[in-house]
Amino acid sequence: MAITTLDQGMKIGLIGCGRMGGALIEGAIQMGVVEAQNVLVHSKSSESATRLANQCGAAIARDNSQVARECGLVLLGCKPYQVLDVLVEIRDELPGNTAIISVAAGITLAKMESSTPEGTRIIRAMPNTPSLIGLGATGLSKGQNATAEDFAMAQDLLASVGIVIETSESQLDAVTGLSGSGPAYVYTFIEELAAQAEKEGLSANDALTLATQTVIGAAHMVKSSPMSPAELRNQVTSPGGTTLAGLKALTEHGFESSIAAGVHAATERSREIAAES
């Protein structure tokens, strides 16, 4: 998928060259969304900017202001506590045709819009860490001034490292609680599956290998099958069988309710962070 305006030579800039911002830029280049020669990066850490530029062929900007002046699309990959300061820093350099995408948690569109010139087009994205390997899940919400073309560009950029769904900003907290924090829940599930299987007699390596592949396989079944997760579960649950025994024990120990509590707690914390920032 390519962005027409970028094909015509529009530059994309990255401010903050951490793992997430770097993954998005590298993914966009690899997928042909933008050419490396049209990418400009800058970071407080010259080492991280140099490393990213060497990896993907992007150019390094002198400062954040150069990124704002020269790029039609600016991705804010800096830490959340740095976002508003960066926007204040570059506000006088923002030409009228620049769109901004922020991947910072907790920094609302209203706060970013109040730190930039009137009419600045801003989009919030909430990607997750599997974006680092091209398997991300991102929620995307546009500010009041962002255009349909801006949003299409943001979708193309984020889709280069996974799937993208459009949400209202108020729903981004739930996205954070689900897909943002969700990988940690899954890592814990895999860890516990393997640990118990080891206690039941498997080697540590075999237990982790089987647990990991089981989760991968089950996820692919949900993704590729027209059946719901409940229907797929019923397919492998025979009366009086091992799966039923396992599911019964999980329910008795609060499996479903603990998952719900985890998603809720993470969502609420996301709301609190937004209110505190």
Residues 215 and 217: their CA atoms lie apart, in Å, by 5
Q: Nearest CA to 139 among 111, 104, 177, 166?
A: 166
For 50-83, what is each residue's pLDDT tens digit?
A: 999 999 999 999 999 999 999 999 999 999 999 9
In DSSP terms, 76 is beta-bridged to 15, 102
Give the angle subtended at the CA of 80 by the CAs of 78 and 85, to the nearest 5°: 75
What letter would DSSP give residue 254? T
Q: Are strands 136-142 and 121-126 parallel, antiparallel or unpaired?
A: antiparallel
- Domain covering 180-276 in this structure, CATH number: 1.10.3730.10
Q: Can you read off the two tokens belonging to residue 66?
A: 């150069």
- Cα–Cα distances (Å) from 123 to 133, 161, 219, 237, in that order, read 23, 17, 30, 44
Q: Can you read off the two tokens belonging to residue 3?
A: 């962005």
Task: Please give the pLDDT value at position 2.
Answer: 46
Task: Please give the pLDDT value at position 31.
Answer: 87
Domain layout of the chain by residue ranges? 4-172, 180-276
Q: Can you read off the two tokens belonging to residue 83?
A: 């976002």
| pLDDT over threshold 90, residue 96 | no
| pLDDT over threshold 50, residue 1 | no
Residues 239 and 33: their CA atoms lie apart, in Å, by 51
Task: Please give the pLDDT value at position 6.
Answer: 55
Give the angle subtended at the CA of 30 by the CAs of 141 and 176, to the nearest 5°: 30
For 137-184, what is each residue's pLDDT tens digit?
A: 999 999 999 999 999 999 999 999 999 999 999 999 999 999 999 999
Q: Can you read off the two tokens belonging to residue 16?
A: 């903050």
**Residue percentage of the chain with pLDDT more than 70:** 97
Q: Can you read off the two tokens belonging to residue 225?
A: 């099958």
Task: Please give the pLDDT value at position 3.
Answer: 45
Same fold, 4-172 and 180-276: no
Task: Reduce the secondary structure of 70-94 to three states and give it as a string.
Answer: HCCEEEECCCHHHHHHHHHHHHHHC
> What is the reported pTM?
0.89
Q: Look at residue 108 and give its three-state secondary structure.
A: coil
- Domain covering 4-172 in this structure, CATH number: 3.40.50.720
H/E segment holding residue 258: helix 255-276
Query: What does the buried/exposed string (b/e) look like for 201-217 if buried means 16 or more CB atoms within 10 Å of the residue's CB?
Result: ebeeeebbeebeeeeee
Residues 263 and 248: their CA atoms lie apart, in Å, by 22
For 198-245, what is each residue's pLDDT tens digit?
A: 999 999 999 999 999 999 999 999 999 999 999 999 999 999 999 999
User: Which residues, including other chains, have CB under 8 Å from residue 21's CB and lie 6 or more apart?
Assistant: 14, 15, 75, 76, 77, 78, 103
